[in-house]
Chains A and B, each alone.
Chain A
Amino acid sequence: MQSLSNRRGWGFWLQLGFTLLVCALLTVPMVMSMLAGLTANYFVGLKSGLTLRWVDEVLRVYSGTILLSLQIAFACLACTLLLGVPAAYALARRPGRFARMVEEMLMMPVAIPGLATALALIVTYGGVGDLRSSWLFILIGHVLFTLPFMVRAVLAVMGAIDLTTLEEGAASLGAGFLRRFFTVVLPNCRSGILAGSLMVLTLSVGEFNLTWLLHTPLTKTLPVGLADSYASLRIEIGSAYTLVFFVMIVPSLILLQGLAKRGRPSV
């Protein structure tokens, strides 16, 4: 018996090898790309030396797109919070076929290709005032695309806790609707709201399909700029751009993950 548990057979090594191979497959391109952004001349290779020149150039030329991406992402988060959380609450409190239908309809923008959604937006609202040239046009697309993720995440948590009884408990103690919503409903859905926020932020910052059609030369976001630089500039600049993207998004992801873990009710 002991030999079985102590000695690792060929199966173990095979699995380990396979796992490492998959990990390498996923991480090597990322590492290569980031390294490329720090290499003086990519075609010569690492021996040409490391430099921050490309990163510096990206920050100089593209800082506008980075800021706009962040601006859109946080505006998008604000919109999905204001729209999505009450929507999830309404769906959770109202059982029945109609509510389930609305729930499914909300998922539509995820199922329909981003290009199609963007085209529909342009055809319908492209001529409304200055909307077409405003960053708000991109925001509208992003909200449409990310809202279902917020609703789903919050709805999942609301379904797991007995929201109706919790609210009845609060009401029996004299709390009116608004007080119940802010002191009992929202705090107990915190983990879902945080998980949804995480999704919305990352999806919005990285969104390309919709944005590519909706942007104008003056409203370029980071992923669109990235595509441009890969298409038309030195590969080192595109890679440095990717590096900036990682540096921007990873810390906020870690922060939100930490918050979500702390907020999860352990009941």
Chain B
Amino acid sequence: MPDSFHLDAVPIRLERCGKTFAGGARALEPLDLTIRGGETIVFLGPSGCGKTTTLRIIAGLESPDPGGRVLFGEEDVTALPIERRNVGMVFQSYALFPNMTVAENVAYGLKVRKLPRPERARRVEEMLDLMHLGEFAGRRIDQLSGGQRQRVALARALVVRPRVLLLDEPLTALDAKLRDSLRLEIDRLLRGLGITAVYVTHDQGEAMALGDRIVVMAKGRVAQVGTPREIYYQPADGFVADFIGTMNRLGGLARGGMLSIGVASLPWSGPDGAVELLVRPEDLALASEADGHFGGTVAAAVFLGDRTRLVVEPADGPALTVDTLGRSELGRGDRVWLRVDPARVLAVP
């Protein structure tokens, strides 16, 4: 990647940014967040959780409720409309101009900035090459595939060297295979550019793969902010635990420093009483009857190639999902024993 593509890393600060729509619907509770310069932050959550509203407030397409402030570095941009914030934005529907060719689309922002023609042509060409779009420069937008349109949208947003890059569900309109390869491409691009990027998605896989940090949102509030690992292994609450990956819930009873699950007792440091435990499918293991903590019956076995996902129904309590490696021959109706790794069990309030 050429040096000229390395962009400034501007931090973004949101101060008490809430959003109430006309009619009184609260889309976003007042939110404080600092996005570090050069960081890729992903807003993740189900539809209607406020993630897109937050992105649009950062972009300048919505203004926060009175009292809220948006800062790019030291500059307060709250009052500036999007066209004066120097941001790059990639829309879910791409918003490419059908009346222009690929090259004209990419050149649009440079034209607005009144760059001299030779400089403009050079930068458009450079950007098209970077995005592997060189041969499509003269094409019309309706002659491109979905993946190509996506890359044009990225090129168009980046060629103006924006202060921050904003991406609103950019991969949602694509099919699964294309999504994976473009996700890798975007990841490579964001790392290479060093630009501050805000990425909105409802796809936890995308969030895990792209985010330096993830902001999990629900019902207009931030549920948790953390690295993908923190979010996955130390979910702040039941919502985050359920939303990210698959999570099993186990009932246990704590008494006198010991926690009993099924027939097993594990050392326990928490207070006495009934405890709800969360365990990831990969942290439950098949065991022999002697080593097992509790038993159950296989209700379903799904062969996934690299692993087999079992649904095990214990004698009491909800069904558990267990991932087993290797060539498991287990099937419906088989009796199995399971072991819990106590170090990986989470107790969530």
A: which residues have CB within 8 A of B? 161-162, 165-166, 168-176, 179, 183-184, 187-188, 190, 265-267
Contacts and interface: CB of A to CB of B under 8 A. Distances in A.
A188 B99 contact: yes
Contacts of A266: 142
Contact of B108 (A161, A170, A190, A267): A170
Interface stretch (B86-94, B274-282, B307-315): B86-94
A183 B98 CA distance: 11
23 contacts: A165-B91, A165-B93, A165-B95, A166-B95, A168-B89, A168-B95, A169-B95, A170-B97, A170-B108, A171-B81, A171-B82, A172-B59, A173-B83, A173-B112, A174-B83, A174-B86, A174-B160, A175-B108, A184-B99, A188-B98, A190-B99, A265-B99, A265-B142
Contacts of A184: 97, 99
Contacts of B19: none
A165 B98 CA distance: 12
Contact of A168 (B61, B98, B108, B160): B61
Best-surrounded residue of A166, A171, A190 (most CB of chain B within 10 A):
A171
Nearest to A176: B83
Interface of B: 59, 61, 81-84, 86-89, 91, 93-99, 108-109, 112-113, 141-142, 156-157, 160, 166
B95 A267 contact: no
A175 B157 CA distance: 13
A162 B173 CA distance: 15
Contacts of B141: 267
Contact of A172 (B89, B96, B97): B89
Contacts of B83: 171-176
B97 A188 contact: yes
B98 A267 contact: yes
A95 B141 CA distance: 28
A2 B124 CA distance: 59
Contacts of B98: 161, 188, 265, 267
A121 B87 CA distance: 53
Contacts, number: 68
A267 B98 CA distance: 8
Contacts of B96: 169
A166 B88 contact: no
Contact of B88 (A168, A171, A172): A172
Given A169-B89, A265-B142, A174 B99 contact: no
Best-surrounded residue of A166, A169, A265 (most CB of chain B within 10 A):
A169
A168 B91 contact: yes
Given A165-B95, A188-B99, A265-B99, A173 B142 contact: no
Best-surrounded residue of B94, B98, B142, B166 (most CB of chain A within 10 A):
B98
A184 B98 CA distance: 9
Nearest to A165: B95
B91 A174 contact: no
A184 B96 CA distance: 10
A75 B4 CA distance: 53
Contacts of A175: 83, 108, 112
A138 to B, nearest CB: 36
Contacts of A190: 99
A184 B104 CA distance: 12
A176 B83 CA distance: 6
Contact of B82 (A162, A172, A179, A187): A172
Contacts of A174: 83-84, 86, 109, 112-113, 160
A173 B96 CA distance: 11
Those 9 A-B pairs whose CB atoms lie nearest each other, nearest first:
A169-B95, A173-B109, A172-B89, A187-B99, A174-B112, A267-B142, A165-B95, A171-B83, A171-B82
B8 to A, nearest CB: 17
A166 B108 CA distance: 13
A171 B83 CA distance: 5
A172 B142 contact: no
B13 to A, nearest CB: 20
A179 B109 CA distance: 11
Contacts of A172: 59, 82-83, 87-89, 157, 166
B99 A179 contact: no
Contacts of B95: 162, 165-166, 168-169
Contacts of B84: 174
A179 B108 CA distance: 11
Nearest to A187: B99
Nearest to B162: A172
Given A172-B83, A184-B99, 20 more contacts: A162-B95, A165-B91, A168-B61, A168-B91, A168-B95, A169-B94, A171-B81, A171-B83, A172-B87, A172-B88, A174-B84, A174-B113, A175-B83, A175-B112, A176-B83, A183-B108, A187-B97, A265-B98, A266-B142, A267-B142
